[in-house]
Chain A
Amino acid sequence: MDALGIINFEDNVATVDGLGEYRPVPAMAFLGRYRIIDFILSNMTNSGINNVHVYCKEKPRNLFAHLGTGSHYNINEKRGQLRILFGEKSFSSPVYNNDVANFILNMQYIESDHNPYVVIAPSYFIYSINFNNVLEEHLKSKADVTILYTSTSDAKNSFLACDTLQMDENKRVTWFGKNRGNTKNKYISLEAYVMSKELFIDLVHKAAETSSLYWFKDILRDSEHELKIKGYQIKGYVRCINSLAKYYQTNMELRDRSVAASLFKADWPIYTQTNDSSPSTYAKGSSVKGSVIANGCKIDGTITDSIISRNVTVSKGAVVKDSIILPGSYIGENAKLDHVVVDKYAIIHHVKELVGTDEEPVYVKRRDRI
């Protein structure tokens, strides 16, 4: 595919409380063994995109460790390249640290790429898509920009603060709005765009000249009349991880194999970094039901309707229910967790009971000992 892949970062509205303090959304652990960025990156490499720029707003450590050279995503290191890019100068305020400023600072890498097209997408939307089909449609429709969107009837609860689209009968975008959760049915922009590299570079410069606080989506909104912007609908599973509640709910619903099957397709593998953990041990007297369990776990207690990541210990007498336990955490004897998100390497030892809800799961900090 003749396109440069650009994985953009999410705007400042999307914040996952707790987890977000330690890593950007793309680096968050997901469904036991993945990171959120695995989905968009696998979409790109499965589509044959071999040059990928990953823009990182802050805290790049996690992403560097997870992405490496990209060979585990099938990027041929000789032919293509995965670059992790960030604004190397410091920004006087987080509001200046927007995608446009980062694109400008790394413009030499965008300009020197030989591909005529760009595919730009953030990682906090989760879905499976073959970008070849999008590019094909983009060329056929002679659009300047093609935007991926999803149609939702749950806009009151989901995709809050996301961009919305209005389109004419030819799917030409006539209006960009915001989802303020006031109506049920909305077309939600996935902030994923296909266009020529030339136009992308023009728009980036135009955005920077207009306002130093402009995001790329702001300049697109301003250009809705001058440019032919068309929508491309994704019909399958789409979720946006822009809050702790959405992080929690999306993980939880994927415990259902039929839901998981709509995201994980047999001919469309989702790649991730391997950890070479051994299989998990389910001891005598343990009980596990309705759960997703990664490798390297030691389970002596009871687990119901939960997601247990790599190298987690659930001790005897512990009861983990409707919870997400991130890698390397330790749940001590007789601890009871209900609707809890436990961050990496936390130790739950003295506290014997934690109870949250679907909308407000309890969050236990990274490396915390409680």
Chain B
Amino acid sequence: MLRRFRRAQPPELTSINYTPEHVALAKTIARRRRIVSAIARSIPLIRLLLVSVGISWLLALPYEGLWKETYVDEHAIQPAQVTMYFDWANVHRADRYLDELERIANATFEERSSYTASTFADAGLSSGNTSHATFAHVAPPRSAGTETILVSANWISRDGGPNLRGVAMLLALGDFLRGQNHWAFDFVLVVGDSYLTGLEDFMRNYHSLFPGVLWTALNIDYPGHSFSHLGLFYEGVNGRLPNQDVVNTVAHVARYAGGSPIRYHDVDADQARSGYLVAAKHLLAHFSFAALGRPSGAHGVLARHRIDAVTLYCSPAEGPHGFHTLGRTLESTLRSYNNLLERLHASYFFYLLPRPDRFIPVGHYLPAAVLLGASITIGGFDCQEPLAGLLWLVPAFVIGYIGWILQTPLVSLVALVLPRPQGNARHSMSALAHLLYGALIPTLAMVNFPQAILLATIGSPGTDIIDSASWRAEGTVVRDR
């Protein structure tokens, strides 16, 4: 495309008798040509500038000036505004359940499952099994049964150990909820086998078991003896985030109703240390989950079903908190969920959380990805033979597609033995890959910012000098998404 400007020669001003209009036009063309060639010459500089601004923007994310204070957007939620009924008698029950659970901790899933199912049944709940999960259904008298809240605790904690206290808490919660009449939602309590599979299996069967729509959910993860902080894990599969109101509600309730300080991802946000480093740690923890599309807790499998959920992780410690704090936090959070008249819907799904009580809104972090994408796009503007480049891209896409079907990135090794484009074709293919990549990164950043940044870091540095083989590999990355 740039070639077009280079080729167009302005008319010779002195040769023939041109009219003033011609002269003016010729001057305009010459001026435009000068501008275009000046821009074309400085393209590497512009790209460098965009990349450096983009990277500085990324590095500035942990800086406080870009943050905002969190607030609860949905007024119906009213976090921590209710009288709580969860008390020491319920804690005592949870302790008794725990004794039983510790006895059968190493039993088969069938044995554990029959214990939890019969315990739920003893509490007066209808309970049942799927092949990898036990569930109980609480149907409060005032609930129409059209909407349901899900609370889950899986046998395995996110740190690999048994989640016995989490399950005990859930059993006690079943017993507790059964006796109350102020709920407007049904509850489904799920004990899933292992870490993710049980809940995943239950969700696949959910609609053959229950009619109620699930809007919100909580997952309990309590591996230790006591806990000092409640850690909130919010990343779902494929970098899907729950509505920020869920995170804010749980954080607010934990602090003011439960009385326990909270952390995100169990990252220590001690005031004494530098704010920048603490925020960077938070963001890195978030990136490590979302960039690869991994869920950070068992609640992550719910994201696929459009359910806003978080995992409450009780950071193991000597104290001071236990079932009492956790139970009151759960109760008060569920009461907030219970107030909802519609699904959480405000566009409050795009955020980064640099520390408790602060968030980075989408408008403050997206420009970083847009700048990086723009830099890559500009790198693709000088495309001499788009057709040849396109033809060379086809094998890259085919390899990527095969890799996607087989679910293995190893297929891209084939690219090493394929013939490579030379000269102009190679240059054009590289340009087209730049254009494609440049379009991909800012758009991907809207749904999964960390992943877009990861791809941009793989894709942008020194792309012009990398051998064409790596382009094919990148085509694979694009398709593997």
Chains A and B bind each other:
no
B residues with a Cβ closer than 8 A to A are: none
